[in-house]
Structures are given as structure tokens and as C-alpha cells.
Amino acid sequence: MNISMADTPPPTKQDHYSYKPLETDDSIRFLVLHPGGRDDPIECSLYHNRITECQYRALSYEWGDEGDLGDVITVNNHPSPRAIQKNLEDVLREIRQEKEDVTLWIDAICINQNDATEKGHQVAMMGKVFREADGVIAWLGPAADNSEMAMDLIAGQESLQPRNNRREFSDNEVEALISIAYRSYWSRIWIMQEFFLAKDLEIRCGTKAVSFAAFRDYAEAMAKLNSQLHLAHWKRGPDSPPLLIHMVTRLAPQPSAPDSTLSSRFDGTLFEWIGRSYDCNSQAGNPRDYIYALLGLAEDCTYGDVVPDYDDRDETIRDALLKVIPICLKSMPAEYRRYSHRKSRARFLVKYARKMGFTLDSELQKDIARLMYINPEDVGLGEDIVDGEIDLQGKRVIYKRSFTAGEFTQMLRVRKMEDLLKLRDRPLSKMMFHEYLQSLPTFLDLDTLTKVDDPPAPT
């Protein structure tokens, strides 16, 4: 193994640790977490190497509030420049071993966060970092809300399977299981990349850890329309935890490929991943990350197409949006590049720009129109972008995204209404119905449709 200890200056305990530049374009820093007890000070080392030449696990976690700081840790015999986030300190204490080193990749420590150029370059490599890792640790946070009991229930997979469609949990068990699904971790846009590129995934919460297979069974139990867990999360409001229920469950191994990796079962273009993140209401602390967090997933976005830029200038946020528009146009099949389809895609990108925090003006309208080869007045800045509802033979459906009620009803007429309604009533109907409509030739860019009838009672 060709290891560079360039980050190890002569030890002078009073000096803070100082990052040294990475030697090659394909180098990253690895963190070696040294052994210790649960309450011992955290000591680690950083070294440089190429991604493919090390065995390591990558950490998926939530940074937390900027002011919620933990301890200063020791890096290469020096105190870290600043205290690490409390949530990161918690997970390091949980995964630290008593007698052995643990090799990790953690963005907050392995990337020099004060160097915008390095940060952009390393963020562009994050897809490869998570894809090449031996495994990914998904840290949901410290124990709270009876999470220890919930994780034990999840680990004992059989306890979550309905018996004759009637698996009864105590009120405490239900609340604990539901609380896991509503942790703020699930709202992070970055977890899409961190989950779906993993070769192997371990979910940790507090002192407990479960496999992805066990966690997938838990998500599927939440998604079953006649299950106690599904009805319990319905009572919290119309917005279910969409990533957990609708996307994690889709990673179940297919009979034809039981040994396939997570990422091989869930691909898509950049525009499709943008749509999925919008459907899931994923959130980012930095508006640029609404784009950058999806680059490693997109099958039509090669390294260098969009170079992450974390310069403080507002122009870099605008540039991030405008650079993806040609990619979103290029990914459209030739037969679907008609004017109406380009207009629809442009309108959705306007909505996504608003989610990124843009104040939409005529200049941005013109830029989007120019890149999508449509008239500026057809982009729309909001008044012609409809969120509303439509009645399907007495079943009220909420619809979102950039299409009018007239366009929607016209699109529905291309298939028998009975077939659509039959599809809507199947388990996971929200996602299945969405995908079925996306496959129709007359319209591509549909958002998730949410049935708002009362949920069915258990049988």
C-alpha cells in the first residue's frame, strides 16, 4: 500500500492540526480512528492515498446545527482546528473499537472544509468514495424516543411481519418504530447518494445496529396499506417519510438478481434524480447541494460535466443550476423532445430553482428558455404552474409539478380509466402510479400523486 503521511508534521501538542494539500487528483484522506473506551478522548490519524488502494467504510450522517459542537479531537498528535459537531462525536464514540483501529472516510474531517477549491474537487469524487467503500454506516443519531427498543424490533425481522395481516404492537412499540422513520436524517438530500451507491449498508442508531435487509423489511411493513405501522404514520399527517417508505423498499433484491448491489437496482438520469429528490422533499443546507448531491448518481453525468464550486459568490449557485439544464435536455429520448415536453421540463426546473432559493426573474427565465430552446414566455414564473387536485371517478387525487389541469386530464385519456384506478389501489400505489404515468408517451414529467381518501381499515 502506498501511503503518504503528508498530514503528519513533527508533533507539537500545542499547535493545531493543519491540512496539507493532496498530492494527486485521485487522492483522498482516510481517517484512522484509534482504539479507546466509550468516554476516552477521541484520537485519530489522517493519511493520503488513492481511493482504490485502501479498505475503508464511509460514514453517512447528519451534520446538525452549526453551533451544536462536541469535543476537540486529536488528529496526528495535534488538536483539531475546531471542535467537531456533537452528532459526529457521538457516532465516533459508538463505532470506536477497544483494541483495533477503524479506517473511515468522513467528509467533515477528510475534506479541508476551509479550502473551497479542494472541497469542490473532493465533493465531485464523493460518488466514487461511497461506491468503492467496503461498506457504508448510516448513522441516524443518538438513542432517543425508545429507539433502542425500535432497533431491536427491526433486527428481529419476523416480529414486523403481519400475521394474517394483523400484527399488533403496543402503543409504545408503534411510537418508537414510527419515530425512527421521522428522524431528521431522512430529509438529507445527500443520503440518496450515500444509500444507493453502497456495496453494503449498516444502519446505526444509538448503541444498536441493523443490516439493510432488516431495515428494508421494516420500511416495507410501514408501506403495507393494511399494516398497523402504515395506519399509525398516516395519523401524523398526509406527508409520509417518502424516502424511507417509497425508495428504500424499491431496493429489495429482485428474484432475477438477488446478489446485485443497491446502486445496480436504482439508476436514472440527472433529471430523474432531481425529480426523486423533489418528490421526497429532500433538504440541503447549502443550495448548491441540491445539484451536487445528485451528480454521483446520474448515469448521464460524467466526471467533469458539472464541477462543484463552493465559492461564496451567489453566481456559483446560478451556474450550478444552468449547467444541469443542457444535461437534462440531452437525456430526453429523441422522440420526446417535442416543444411541449421541453416546456414541461423547463417548468419543473423553475420549480426546482425556487426550492434552491432563487428569486426568479426575467433574466433567469430567459436563460432557462434559451437552454431548453423554447420561448421565454412559456417558461412561466409561477402563475401557470399548477398545484391542485383532480377527481378520478370520485377519487380525489392531489397532483403537483409543472402541468395544468387541462394537460393532466388530456394525458389520462390515453389509457382506460379502470386500469389507472386499479393500479392506484395496489400496495405502494403512490410510486407505482407515478411511474406508470411517466411511461405514457404524451407526458413525461409528472410528480408523485397522493391519494387522499381515508386509509383502509385493517382486515
If asked whether residues 143 and 256 sit together in one domain, one would say: yes
Is 277 domain-assigned?
Answer: yes
262 and 197 Cβ atoms separated by less than 8 Å: yes
Is 161 domain-assigned?
Answer: yes
If asked whether residues 233 and 261 sit together in one domain, one would say: yes
If asked whether residues 166 and 121 sit together in one domain, one would say: no
Q: Which of 378, 396, 417 is the last residue of a domain?
A: 378
If asked whether residues 365 and 394 sit together in one domain, one would say: no
Q: For position 459, what pLDDT does the model report? A: 34
pLDDT digits (tens, 9 = 90+) for 114-172: 999 999 999 999 999 999 999 999 999 999 999 999 999 999 855 555 544 445 778 88
Neighbours of 36 (CB within 10 A): 17
**Pick from 263, 108, 262, 87: nearest CA to 184:** 87
Is 457 domain-assigned?
Answer: no
**Helices 315-330, 339-355: inter-axial angle, 10-degree rounding:** 150
pLDDT digits (tens, 9 = 90+) for 360-393: 778 888 899 999 999 988 886 544 333 334 444 4
Taken in order 256, 218, 244, 132, is the CA torsion positive or negative?
negative
pTM assigned to the model: 0.77
Is 5 domain-assigned?
Answer: no
If asked whether residues 238 and 278 sit together in one domain, one would say: no
331 and 300 Cβ atoms separated by less than 8 Å: yes
> Given a cut of 50, is residue 428 above it in pLDDT?
no
Is 18 domain-assigned?
Answer: no
Is 118 domain-assigned?
Answer: yes
The tally of domains found in the chain comes to 4
Q: Average pLDDT in the 201-218 region?
A: 90
Distance linking the first and last C-alpha atoms of the chain: 60
If asked whether residues 148 and 224 sit together in one domain, one would say: yes
Neighbours of 79 (CB within 10 A): 16
Alpha carbon 167 to its chain's center: 30
If asked whether residues 400 and 349 sit together in one domain, one would say: no
If asked whether residues 143 and 261 sit together in one domain, one would say: yes
* pLDDT > 90: percent of the chain: 34
Is 296 domain-assigned?
Answer: yes
Measured between alpha carbons, how far is residue 403 from residues 302, 385, 387 in Å? 30, 6, 8
Domain containing residue 325: 270-378
**Helices 171-181, 212-223: inter-axial angle, 10-degree rounding:** 110
